[in-house]
Each structure stands twice: as structure tokens, then as C-alpha cells.
Amino acid sequence: MKKSVCIIDDDEIYQKIVSKMVERSGSFSEAKYFTQSIQALDYLKNEGSLTEIVLLDINMPQMDGWQLLREISENQPAIFQQTSIYIVSSSIAESDREKAKMFPALKGFITKPITISKLKEVAENKA
């Protein structure tokens, strides 16, 4: 069964590339795209039960990915129970991987660029 995915990343070019990859993977029934964490958080609060996978960038303006994860952890923990959240970042800093461990509900940390095969793994819960 195909899953729904939500991509949260402020880079519009990356979003266009990933949208093509999501389409080509054939693994997702629906995809939502957000360039701002605040909008994504609002969506997840209100319609999050419809989203099975979130691919979250950590370096964004206004509210970064870490702040979004803290907000979910503190005020919307049910989102973690119904949605598999993965960090997808260009960061290669070990400190970011260590920081990710502070959120045990995260399903993984994926280094950009993401690939079609990695999207398929995520959709099949193998990543």
C-alpha cells in the first residue's frame, strides 16, 4: 500500500527535484510540500493523521527543524505515534546526528542528496 509523504524544506529547487523523485519512485499515494516549518506544523496538527511519512530539513529560517521537533515533542506527541519522521539534511556534522538522538521517535537521519532508492526504503519502513 502506498503511503502519503510530507516534505518540509525551504529550498524550492530541492523541492522540485524531490517532487520528481517522489513521483518516479511510485511509492507514495500523495505528497505535500512546505517551505516553512510553521505552515507544516499547522498542517500536521490539523491533518497529520493523513500523513504517514515526513521528510524534514533542519536548516530553515523562522522555525528550524529542531524547533519543529521540540514543538511536536512538547505539545503534539501524538504526531510521532502516527507519522514516521526522518531528518533529511545536507549537514554532515556529527553534532547534528547526536542532536537527532535527543528525539527517540525520529525514524532516521538521511544525508542529502536523497535518492529514489532511499525514498523507496523510507516508504517500506526499511530506512
- Nearest 5°: phi and psi at 126? -110, 0
What per-residue confidence (pLDDT) applies to 47?
77
How many domains would you assign to the chain? 1
Domain that holds residue 61: 3-123
What per-residue confidence (pLDDT) applies to 78?
87
CATH code of the domain in which 28 resides: 3.40.50.2300
What per-residue confidence (pLDDT) applies to 50?
76
pLDDT in tens, the chain (127 residues): 789 999 999 999 999 999 999 999 999 999 999 999 999 999 998 876 678 999 999 999 999 999 999 999 999 898 888 899 999 999 889 999 999 999 999 999 999 999 999 999 999 987 6
* DSSP state letter for 58: S
**pTM (two decimals):** 0.94
Give the CA radius of gyration of the chain.
13
Structure-block grid coordinates of residue 62: 523562522
What per-residue confidence (pLDDT) applies to 58?
95
What per-residue confidence (pLDDT) applies to 49?
67
Q: Please, what sign has the CA dihedral across residues 114, 39, 103, 81?
A: negative
Helix or strand (DSSP H, E) at 98: helix 94-100
What per-residue confidence (pLDDT) applies to 34?
97
Sheet holding 28-34: strands in order across?
Answer: 28-34, 3-8, 53-56, 84-89, 108-111
